[in-house]
Chains A and B, each alone.
Chain A
């Protein structure tokens, strides 16, 4: 499934239209992408993400919507789902597009890990699942996030460590096998090892179940290492839509927006100031290769 967003504008307070959270955003996220969204706090990232699950509905999908002539309304299409149509089945949409919000461990509520993970499964399934089916799905999801099913299934989610809680929460979203997985700051607040593990987990999910992954992040290294394409939001507007290899060439513009750049881009700039130019896609792997290729000539 692909995501196609057109002319998306949104204001939390329609009476003062100057305060737009999103202004005329149009973008497409292709199937199979590992898509990154970066931007400041308050840049409209979260508002954008909430639209993808119809947690914020488009004006044309409101119950009391009356069309006005000459207004180009925003539209969002996700695969076969038309989010501008109020007859679209939101539940079906939400089972196909999973969203993991910031600090997802704060949504855990059930007595045991397996019950919590099964919550979404029960909500989405058209016909009640047998206990065996449920268990099979839950086991699969928990294994996919790197947890030992037998060890954690009966534990209280509140007794787990921070990293484990986050994995359980992610398992609770991927248990319905969404085709698109959107994660808002999936690694925030974790230690470096936890961060690496979560990103590794996302890559293995990307290879197996979730064809398309969208992550919202502040961490440029994370974006630079992992994403195939990046959208940059500022003040509700889409400023850039580029692959990282091109995006981070705009280092000064990004810094003017108050954003960081990956370490590789910083090193590349420092080398450039010393007269050494490195041509890289900004992943540390490629960067090292390019440096080594230069090595003989400059040292």
Chain B
């Protein structure tokens, strides 16, 4: 039943995008999202889309995999489209394309809907690109490094990063365990597939409790193992892999800067979508 869940969806490849510094990739993602939201017309958004396509091409991640990410929010997209099409408030220049009963669809509504759909799709695709090209470990490493300034206000950055990487590490283990416990309870006649909501909720108890107990056991064992290897938190810890910025990051930085500038210029000189 867990075969279809795509987790830790890292796509193994050796590419320009894969080799970028994770810290830069996180910042670039933020900059890209800002650019998407700054765009007021199709030119700006088109530029974002072009850059995304280039990134995908240079990352060696198959286009189909990135488009799959959009499938995940298909319902949201359809819902947004319907709402926008019917309830968009056009101004006086609008041309009515469809008028039937209480429904009026104008050219402005259509353009604006397309604009929104493109914006949402780009957002999801670019976020998936980050996880496709960055391993969970280097992602948490990058995040830890980016959050370092928060240490000044005594925010436990290192611990947070550790919690994140442990959580990621144990997801597959827990799924395996769940499957094993489910099989054991099914063999004792448990039924997870039929009955009403209450019955199904009740049926989960014989899975959850053993799972919870074994998680505590695992946590204790992991804690012991860490103690045994003299883990003592962030103070005395050095990094095995040091993050360093390279010429790739510099190049990519200029591209991102150009994108944001371009979007702003398009906004100023070409105006809004409608």
Interface residue total, chain A, C-beta cutoff 8 A: 24
Q: Are A106 and B214 in contact (CB under 8 A)?
A: yes
Residues of chain B within 8 A of A236, CB atoms compared:
none
Q: Are A108 and B191 in contact (CB under 8 A)?
A: no
Candidate in A50, A94, A123 with the most chain B CB atoms within 10 angstroms: A123
Q: Are B186 and A94 in contact (CB under 8 A)?
A: yes
Question: A55 in the interface, Cβ–Cβ < 8 Å?
Answer: yes
Question: B209 in the interface, Cβ–Cβ < 8 Å?
Answer: yes
Select the stretch in B50-58, B78-86, B148-156, B176-184 that faces chain A.
B176-184
Given B180, B189, B205, which contacts A101 in the complex, CB threshold below 8 Å?
A: B180
Distance of A55 Cα from B189 Cα, bound (Å): 11
Q: Are A107 and B186 in contact (CB under 8 A)?
A: no
B188-214 vs A: 1/0 string, CB under 8 Å? 111100000000000001101110011
Closest B residue to A91 by beta carbon equals B189
Q: Is the interface of B mostly helix, strand, loop or mixed?
A: helix
Residues of chain A within 8 A of B191, CB atoms compared:
91, 123
Residues of chain B within 8 A of A95, CB atoms compared:
189
Residues of chain B within 8 A of A50, CB atoms compared:
183
A136-160 vs B: 1/0 string, CB under 8 Å? 0000000000000000000000100
Residues of chain A within 8 A of B184, CB atoms compared:
99, 101, 104, 106-107
Candidate in B183, B185, B187 with the most chain A CB atoms within 10 angstroms: B187
A40-56 vs B: 1/0 string, CB under 8 Å? 00000000001001010
B58-95 vs A: 1/0 string, CB under 8 Å? 00000000000000000000000000000000000000
Knowing A106-B214, A109-B205, the reply to whether A120 touches B183 (Cβ < 8 A) is no
Quick one: which of A60-94 are within 8 Å of B by CB? Answer: 91, 94
Distance of A123 Cα from B190 Cα, bound (Å): 6
**Number of interchain pairs (Cβ within 8 Å):** 58
Distance of A55 Cα from B188 Cα, bound (Å): 11
Q: Are B187 and A99 in contact (CB under 8 A)?
A: yes
Q: Are A94 and B189 in contact (CB under 8 A)?
A: yes
A106-B213, A173-B188 given; 19 more Cβ-contact pairs under 8 Å? A50-B183, A55-B183, A94-B188, A94-B189, A99-B187, A101-B180, A101-B184, A104-B184, A106-B214, A107-B206, A107-B210, A109-B210, A119-B185, A122-B189, A123-B191, A158-B213, A172-B188, A173-B187, A176-B189
Q: Please list 24 pairs of residues, one from A and one from B, whose beta carbons are closer than 8 Å in the complex, sorted by A's number.
A: A50-B183, A55-B187, A94-B188, A94-B189, A95-B189, A101-B180, A101-B183, A101-B187, A104-B184, A106-B184, A106-B214, A107-B185, A107-B210, A108-B210, A109-B205, A109-B210, A119-B185, A119-B188, A119-B189, A119-B190, A123-B189, A123-B190, A124-B189, A173-B188
- Chain A residues in contact with chain B, CB under 8 A? 50, 53, 55, 91, 94-95, 98-99, 101, 104, 106-110, 119-120, 122-124, 158, 172-173, 176
List the 4 closest pairs (A to B, CB-CB), nearest first: A123-B189, A120-B188, A109-B209, A107-B184
- Chain B residues in contact with chain A, CB under 8 A? 180-181, 183-191, 205-206, 208-210, 213-214
